[in-house]
């Protein structure tokens, strides 16, 4: 599909005027001063940019027109927030804004539903990451982000993982010189090999050979995620005894 011959949302992009960088800056200044006409010209003069970005997200089952409209929202945000005093090209600022808006739309409309609080935490974590990176000129660790947010590092990791867009097994990863495409599915190994299921049977048998107290301790510790102190309180023994029994049970399973 050629960008010069596309009609999206009733707009024929081939008929749109392309703005020079000087024209963009002049219109941005007028828009900042309250000119609605300048703002409209800026939007129409950058629709081809939106379309070029939207095409990066095709093949995901989303309507091209929906993505185009979302991309236009990102463009408008870029226009409203661009600082003309900075020596930066408008497109350099607008592209990540448009991409971010589309990615947020895809995340929020994902078939895997994520709670609002989890998404908000993830977005907050990304904002803090960007702030620390800008201030220190290096990416922060998860611990630094968690400390700034006042939450556990596990919460930060879970929130960020929750908004990662699922990858299709049919997603192409690369193609060779002959045009043969390699897909994600081609790079996934078979986890049901003989050695794996034999090991699983052996582990189950080893766990079944433990006494009831040992099994109970391992269940509370590693399935329910309780601390040794919580386990000790639940089953009525000391933490030292829990620690000794836990180590003994793990040692038996390893043997």
The dihedral formed by the CA atoms of 21, 24, 28 and 135, expressed in degrees to the nearest 10: -40
Of 49, 156, 50, which Cα lies nearest the Cα of 102?
Answer: 50
Q: Please check whether residue 175 is in contact with residue 145, taking contact to mean a CB–CB distance below 8 angstroms.
A: no
CA dist., res. 12 & res. 175, Å (int): 33
Model pTM score: 0.42
Q: CA 109 → CA 67, 102, 113, distances in Å?
A: 12, 11, 8
Assign residue 156 a region (left: φ > 0; alpha: ψ between -120 and 50; beta: otherwise): alpha
Per domain, the residue ranges of the chain are: 1-109, 112-169, 198-254
Fold of 112-169: Arc Repressor Mutant, subunit A (1.10.10)
Q: Mean pLDDT of all residues in the chain? A: 79
The dihedral formed by the CA atoms of 104, 107, 109 and 114, expressed in degrees to the nearest 10: -120
Sign of CA dihedral 79, 84, 89, 95: negative
Are domains 1-109 and 112-169 of this chain identical in fold?
A: no
* pLDDT at 75 (0 to 100): 92
192-220 pLDDT, tens per residue?
555 566 777 778 888 888 898 998 898 88
CA dist., res. 123 & res. 106, Å (int): 14
> Is the CATH code 2.60.40.10 the one for domain 1-109?
no
> Is the CATH code 3.30.70.120 the one for domain 198-254?
no
The residue ranges of the chain whose pLDDT is under 70 are 1-16, 59-61, 110-115, 163-197
Q: Please check whether residue 27 is in contact with residue 19, taking contact to mean a CB–CB distance below 8 angstroms.
A: yes
138-158 pLDDT, tens per residue?
888 999 999 999 999 888 888
Residue 52 exposure: Cα atoms within 13 Å on the Cβ side: 10
CA dist., res. 101 & res. 118, Å (int): 18
Tell me the three state secondary structure of residue 174.
Answer: strand
């Amino acid at each position: 599909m050629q960008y010069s011959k596309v009609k999206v949302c009733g707009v024929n992009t081939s008929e749109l005027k392309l703005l020079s960088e000087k024209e963009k800056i002049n219109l941005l200044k007028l828009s900042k001063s309250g000119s609605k006409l300048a703002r409209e010209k800026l939007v129409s003069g950058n629709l081809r940019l939106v379309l070029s970005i939207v095409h990066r997200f095709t093949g995901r089952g989303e309507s091209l027109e929906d993505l185009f409209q979302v991309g236009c929202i990102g463009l408008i945000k870029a226009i409203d927030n661009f600082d003309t005093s900075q020596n930066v090209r408008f497109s350099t600022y607008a592209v990540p804004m448009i991409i971010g808006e589309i990615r947020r739309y895809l995340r929020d409309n994902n078939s895997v539903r994520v709670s609002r609080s989890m998404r908000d935490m993830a977005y907050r974590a990304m904002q803090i990451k960007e702030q620390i990176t800008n201030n220190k000129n290096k990416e922060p660790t998860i611990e630094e982000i968690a400390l700034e947010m006042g939450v556990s590092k596990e919460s930060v990791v879970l929130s960020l993982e929750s908004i990662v867009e699922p990858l299709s097994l049919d997603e192409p990863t690369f193609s060779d010189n002959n045009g043969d495409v390699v897909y994600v599915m081609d790079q996934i190994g078979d986890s049901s090999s003989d050695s794996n299921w034999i090991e699983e049977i052996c582990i189950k048998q080893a766990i079944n050979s433990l006494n009831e107290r040992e099994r109970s301790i391992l269940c509370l510790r590693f399935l329910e995620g309780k601390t040794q102190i919580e386990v000790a309180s639940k089953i009525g023994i000391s933490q030292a005894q829990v620690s000794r029994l836990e180590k003994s049970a793990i040692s038996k399973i390893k043997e």
